[in-house]
Structure formats: structure tokens, C-alpha cells
Amino acid sequence: MAGETKHSYRELEMLDAIRRVGGFAKNSDLASTLNVSEETVRRTIKALSKAGSVARVHGGAYLVGTQSDPSFFKRIEQHATEKRTVAKALLREVQDGMTLFLDVGSTTSFVAEELRARGALSVVTNSVQVAQTLVGHNNNRVYLLGGEMHADELGAFGHVAEQQARQFCFDLAVLSADALHPKHGFLYLNRAEAELASVVIGNTDASVVAMTHHKFGSKAPHQGFLPHRIDRLIVDRAPQDSLAQQLESWGVAVRNISDEVVEC
């Protein structure tokens, strides 16, 4: 047919691999699945992107026209350098063999990548991307919560996810939030995400929020937990004035990565 895009065998193989894992895949996973180098993956993805079959994002690609909301991948791309820095710093909080919860936040996706340096982890998550990143690697055990899938987050929420989360006892919960307000604390745009975070907080020995400074002072409609339930906030830039004072009053320890040397 005139005007029909013709793909090479390698490109068709790549498209099929991405389709089989739900429409999004990381370059490293594609390289492993197809037994090729990551450079080969990048070249093939670049060609598929030019043809309009996929869209490239940080470290991977997603199929154009899938049910997944492109805004999810766009959020990962925003402030990627800062998120990566925060994720590298958070790795210091995690030891081999720990039981962790990771949520669907874009910064948490970077945390999952860094956690590949640890082993024998038990990771509970409602994020498809986090599960894909860690499953089958370094003797990790990954538990993907059930429930209603939200396309804009590529994650599961609701009663089923909350009930399953209650069955675990976490050494550490790694959470994100959509806003950090000096009066109301950590806030979410999605009520279901806020409710799941509240459940997880009740089942963990320690809790960490990882975020970039771009969310300081902003608001969102839903509060999932009281701010004093958070042990540490890991950020790329120190909060100022009233927000810094409130965090101190809530007993939230702040790790400001800009004052640390983070190995890359």
C-alpha cells in the first residue's frame, strides 16, 4: 500500500518486544530480551521514532497509540537530571535483603533503576515500570499489587491494592508526592494514590519521600498521611523559610543533595 511504513526485521522484532511488555520498555531490558547491545537498541529505537511508531523517553521507548497516557512518560523526562541525583542518594538508604515499597512516582522510577545495584530485595510496588526494572535481577523478589490499572500512572490502585499492601511489613517505604505545602504537608493529585500511601505508611518501619525542589510550596487536593509520619525527605535543593521550619517541626529530616557529593 502506498505510504505504508515498512520496517526492517530488527525493527519489527523491537516493536513486538515492546508490545509484549505492555507498550513501554527500557533500553536495557530490550537489549537483554533480544540479545543485542544497548547501542543497537538505541539505533533501532531512533529509526522507529523517526517513522512515528514509538516515542523515545529517558532510557526507553513506548508505542505510539497505546492505551498508556503519554503524560506518564513526559513526567519522567521532566527534571530528569535532578531526579537521577536524588535516586542515587536514596540508594544509600537501602541494604541488600530489605523489604521495600516503591510507588508510581516518576522519581521512584529512577530509584528503581539505582536499586539494581542491590540484591535479594523484596520489592512491593503498584508500578508496572518499577516491577519491570527489578524483576529477575540480582535475586530480587518483586510483588506487583493488583487492583484497577490507571493508564496515566501505569499503576494499580483501589481496594485490592490496599488490601494486598497490608499483608506486608516493610523495612522502608519509598514514596513520592505531587506537592509539598508548608501548611498541609505532602499532597497528591490522585485520591487513590493518596489512600494507598496512607496504607503503606502504616506498615513500614521507616518512610522516605524522594522529590525535586520544583514541588516545594505547591498544592494538590488530597492528603494521604500526616507529614510527621515521614522520617526523611531527600531533595536536590534545600527548602527555604516557612517550609524548612515546618519540616523541622514535623520531625522530618531533610537530606539536601546539593550539599553532598553523589557518585555518578
Q: What percent of the chain has pLDDT over 70?
A: 91
Are 61 and 139 part of one and the same domain?
Answer: no
What's the structural domain count of the chain? 2
Instruction: Give residue 246's Cα distance to chain centre.
Output: 26
Are 97 and 222 part of one and the same domain?
Answer: yes
Contact between 64 and 53 (Cβ < 8 Å): yes
- Predicted confidence at residue 72, as pLDDT, reads 63
Angstrom CA distances, 158 to 150, 185, 204, stand at: 10, 23, 19
Domain finish residue from 48, 66, 84: 66
Are 90 and 46 part of one and the same domain?
Answer: no
Residue 232 in any domain: the answer is: yes
Domain finish residue from 66, 88, 110: 66
Residue 97 in any domain: the answer is: yes
Are 53 and 138 part of one and the same domain?
Answer: no
- Predicted confidence at residue 59, as pLDDT, reads 76
Residue 92 in any domain: the answer is: yes
Q: Please give the residue range of the domain that contains residue 211.
A: 76-259
How wide is the angle at C-alpha 122 spanned by C-alphas 234 and 162, nearest 5°? 80
The arithmetic mean of pLDDT across residues 66-76, rounded, is 59
- Predicted confidence at residue 2, as pLDDT, reads 41
Are 112 and 234 part of one and the same domain?
Answer: yes
Flag whether pLDDT at 27 surpasses 70: yes
- Predicted confidence at residue 196, as pLDDT, reads 97
Q: List, for residues 38-56, the tens digit of each pLDDT value.
A: 999 999 999 998 988 888 8
CA distance 232 to 128: 25
Flag whether pLDDT at 22 surpasses 70: no
Are 35 and 89 part of one and the same domain?
Answer: no
Residue 3 in any domain: the answer is: no
Q: List, for residues 141-191, the tens digit of each pLDDT value.
A: 999 999 998 877 789 999 999 999 999 999 999 999 999 999 999 999 999
CA distance 64 to 61: 9
Q: How confident is the model at residue 1 (pLDDT cuts 50, 70, 90)?
A: very low
Contact between 86 and 110 (Cβ < 8 Å): yes
Are 41 and 129 part of one and the same domain?
Answer: no
pTM over 0.85: no
Are 84 and 24 part of one and the same domain?
Answer: no
Are 48 and 149 part of one and the same domain?
Answer: no
Domain finish residue from 66, 94, 111: 66
Residue 42 in any domain: the answer is: yes
User: Which CATH number fits the domain that encloses residue 47?
Assistant: 1.10.10.10
Residue 71 in any domain: the answer is: no
How wide is the angle at C-alpha 251 spanned by C-alphas 246 and 254, nearest 5°? 80
User: Which CATH number fits the domain that encloses residue 135?
Assistant: 3.40.50.1360
Are 170 and 231 part of one and the same domain?
Answer: yes
Residue 162 in any domain: the answer is: yes
Flag whether pLDDT at 119 surpasses 70: yes
Are 223 and 168 part of one and the same domain?
Answer: yes
- Predicted confidence at residue 19, as pLDDT, reads 80
Maximum Cα–Cα distance across the chain:
67
Residue 4 in any domain: the answer is: no
Are 141 and 219 part of one and the same domain?
Answer: yes
